[in-house]
Chains A and B, each alone.
Chain A
């Protein structure tokens, strides 16, 4: 534990303005089943705006399922059932009148593996604004540049905007996907292990980017990599077997966890 605390002192301490923050997400007794498999059990979490919230836990603990529930992408899986409530900015996302497209327009998502569209770099970024009715070429040009700059990839691609996105490296593709997400200026960005398919250098770039994005967005990130959670997040939730074992400030979780299972996991005794 001592070593861990030492590491934390250097790495952590991301300045967090402790003003009155509003919750972006509140889950109330959220349960989810895949068929008979009870994948999420009685989840009660409050997630605050303009913070990076990390979700950690061993494989199959429900962390990906949880984040996909927040924008209802989980419903693409057949035979999914949920109970309980998730409030996004005070509104229950399971409400019948809440259009899922509206939710996903406010809540962007970055996936585990980069998934650009098989289109040009420009069209990838312009896709989101276009489907939401923004057609003006000049405005689109601006959005594309701003988003690519926001995702720290503009300098690498500015001369090849018309080229197919699949010509980019994996790390560039992932930053492109983040840029695509930024293009519709979402409120929250969900990230599902965004660096797990990337090499260390690309990972570092994406992590720096995430830090940068925190200023304007609320970010919820699922990660398999505990160092990553420690490096970039302000709060961490530890999931195990579909339950939230512990949810607290990241430095607390990584230095003095209150639950034995959290301690076992972060010290590498399992998972």
Chain B
């Protein structure tokens, strides 16, 4: 029973402070200012509220100005009109050419970014050695940090001349070059996020495939890829959203000719590029042109919203839980 005595002694031992540990804890607790416990949640809540309020505020401004725009232009003309020519008298405000420009450029960007980004993600996650991955991943992420204006001039002064050698009819300002460069710009987004999604598929599942005599490629394509699909879809949507919202590259290298159709060799204008053009000072406050940038902005907002909802729906439908 000697050990029990030892335990008993320890519990009542007085330290230099002549108090037991429990007594010291109780004392500290009385001293501790309780205000931080109470005020911190309030501060945290406030920051959350601020972000929500900001979003609502932006939406509100957008709506008010959009509403002002629709006093001058009918909604029907805005949606169904196929000419966007605000600087004529009277101005023509059919948004379809701008949407068409945005879709063409986004489409090209996706065609470039999805295959390359996905292939890079698969390579990094499944085939690259740790050493290679440690080099390539940071490089990819640096690519994501280059200011878009640099990409814009890269498109105009480097990519366009090269493309012109291949396609002689290509104009200086065209949809192809900024489309490709936006694609390059969003490769890191897709590659990096898809790599995370692939990497989070449990190794045990891969082993299950390999143990059945599947090759590494079969396991990658038929087990790992489907398992990671919701993360991959999310990365692609984020990439598309960035492509839709991209402004600088198209403003610099895409030209400023709103037109409807599928032509990618001539000058185009996207929704964002139009907003920049007007914001640069061509229009006075309170004019229809001024209000039109909000209407276009609102259309852009609806556009990305639909994209995001669509992505959620797709990823819920094809998701494979593990």
Taking CB atoms, residues of chain A closer than 8 Å to B210 are 73, 76, 104
Whether A116 pairs with B214 at a CB distance below 8 angstroms is no
Whether A117 pairs with B207 at a CB distance below 8 angstroms is no
Name, among B207, B208, B215, the residue most crowded by chain A CB atoms within 10 Å (CB to CB). Answer: B208
Whether A115 pairs with B213 at a CB distance below 8 angstroms is no
**In whole Å, how far is B211's beta carbon from the nearest beta carbon of chain A?**
4
Taking CB atoms, residues of chain A closer than 8 Å to B322 are 118, 166
**In whole Å, how far is B200's beta carbon from the nearest beta carbon of chain A?**
12
**In whole Å, how far is A238's beta carbon from the nearest beta carbon of chain B?**
25
Stretch at the interface among B59-67, B220-228, B233-241, B299-307: B220-228
**In whole Å, how far is A195's beta carbon from the nearest beta carbon of chain B?**
16
Taking CB atoms, residues of chain A closer than 8 Å to B208 are 111, 115-117, 177, 180
Taking CB atoms, residues of chain A closer than 8 Å to B320 are 117-119, 164
Interface string of A203-241 (1 = CB under 8 A from B): 000000000000000000000000000000000000000
CA distance A35 to B215 in the complex (A): 26
Whether A115 pairs with B207 at a CB distance below 8 angstroms is yes
Interface presence of B263 (CB below 8 A): no
Whether B321 pairs with A101 at a CB distance below 8 angstroms is no
Whether B204 pairs with A105 at a CB distance below 8 angstroms is no
- Size of interface on B: residues with Cβ below 8 Å to A: 20
Given contacts A117-B227, A118-B322, contact A111 B205 (CB under 8 A): no
Interface presence of B132 (CB below 8 A): no
Interface presence of B81 (CB below 8 A): no
Interface presence of B209 (CB below 8 A): yes
**In whole Å, how far is B231's beta carbon from the nearest beta carbon of chain A?**
12
Interface presence of B218 (CB below 8 A): yes
Taking CB atoms, residues of chain A closer than 8 Å to B214 are 101, 127-128, 131
Whether B207 pairs with A184 at a CB distance below 8 angstroms is no
Which residue of A102, A113, A116, A180 contacts B212 across the interface (Cβ within 8 Å)? Answer: A180
Whether B321 pairs with A115 at a CB distance below 8 angstroms is no
Category for how many chain A residues contact B = 20 to 34
Binding site for A on B (CB under 8 A): 202, 204-205, 207-215, 218, 222-223, 226-227, 320-322
Whether B211 pairs with A71 at a CB distance below 8 angstroms is yes
Query: Which chain A residue has the least Cβ–Cβ distance from B229?
Result: A118
Whether B211 pairs with A117 at a CB distance below 8 angstroms is no
**In whole Å, how far is A55's beta carbon from the nearest beta carbon of chain B?**
17
4 further A-B pairs in the complex, CB-CB below 8 A; given A73-B210, A113-B204:
A106-B213, A118-B205, A118-B227, A127-B212
CA distance A193 to B94 in the complex (A): 68
**In whole Å, how far is A70's beta carbon from the nearest beta carbon of chain B?**
11
Given contacts A113-B204, A131-B218, A131-B222, contact A118 B321 (CB under 8 A): yes
Taking CB atoms, residues of chain A closer than 8 Å to B215 are 101
Interface string of A174-198 (1 = CB under 8 A from B): 0001001100100000000000000
**In whole Å, how far is B220's beta carbon from the nearest beta carbon of chain A?**
12
CA distance A109 to B218 in the complex (A): 18
Kindly identify, within residues 95 to 150 of chain A, every residue whose CB is under 8 Å from any CB belonging to chain B: 101-106, 108-109, 111, 113, 115-119, 127-128, 130-132
CA distance A118 to B222 in the complex (A): 11
Given contacts A115-B202, A117-B227, A180-B208, contact A128 B213 (CB under 8 A): yes
Which residue of A105, A117, A128, A164 contacts B205 across the interface (Cβ within 8 Å)? Answer: A117
Whether A184 pairs with B226 at a CB distance below 8 angstroms is no
Which residue of A76, A113, A118, A132 contacts B213 across the interface (Cβ within 8 Å)? Answer: A132
